[in-house]
Amino acid sequence: MKRHLLDPQLSQKGYFPLDLSINNPFWKRNDVADISVCHEYIEQQRISHGAFLAIGGYLEQRALYQKNERFNKGIVRDIHLGVDIWAPAGTTVHAMYDGVVHSYAHNSDPGNYGPTLILQHNIDGQTIYTLYGHLSLDDVNKWEVGYRFRESEIIAHLGTPQENGGYSPHLHFQVMTDMKGYQGDFPGVAAKEELEQYKDIVLDPMSFLE
Ligand SMILES: [Zn+2]
């Protein structure tokens, strides 16, 4: 991994792919929405892979959302648009590139992002936006719209399940070319029927990290 969004010392301990998809037989027998089950599964995977940071989820279809009514209003939104990196609460989160704070919010309803920061970057003349979700509440007071962060600078910390929307601690990272008017928020999960409309707006986050 070329760029480190989490504590570089943890990144040195290596990444392993985490499969939360409906195709993973483990989630047919176990409840992915149960934080302790999820936590235990990640710990086991850490040991069996001999690496520390669990990563994955871009365009992954997840049972997690199929069970949550927040994602089932009219259509089932169960396809994940960002990448998740799983590490303990309190782990530092770092800016992917130099950029300014576009917006931020505490999206506090259960299943949402919790504290969320969006940075705006200029990469070779193109504007892109990076979204960092499931952060710590303490960080929200430190952000200001227009504030400039340098590449790799600490921008936040991972939140606990009590503050991050109710998930095992992880970073939701997503890259957009257009904010579509959103402030401090952007859909992180979509229905299959909606994917076409996000095709040119939500980019593959892994292509920026590898
Ligand atoms: Zn996510």
Q: How far is the CA of 147 from the centre of ligand 1 (A)?
A: 25
Give the Å distance between the CA of 146 and the centre of ligand 1: 25
Ligand 1 centroid to 145 CA: how many Å? 23
Ligand 1 centroid – CA 95 distance (Å): 17
Pairing of strands 148-149, 99-107: antiparallel
Q: Print pLDDT tens along the chain (210 aa).
A: 778 999 999 999 999 999 999 999 999 899 888 899 999 999 999 999 999 999 999 999 998 776 677 777 778 889 999 999 999 999 999 999 999 999 999 999 989 999 999 999 999 999 999 999 999 999 999 999 999 999 999 999 999 999 999 999 999 999 999 999 999 999 999 999 999 999 999 999 999 998
Output the CA–CA distances (angstroms, integers) from residue 41 to 44, 58, 112, 194, in the order listed: 5, 19, 22, 30
CATH of domain 8-209: 2.70.70.10
Domain segments of the chain as ranges: 8-209
Report the DSSP pairing between strands 170-176 and 114-123.
unpaired
Residue 108 to residue 137: CA distance in whole angstroms: 10
CA of 17 to the centre of ligand 1 (A): 14
- Cα end-to-end distance, the chain, whole Å: 5
**Which backbone phi and psi does 174 adopt, to 5 degrees?**
-145, 145
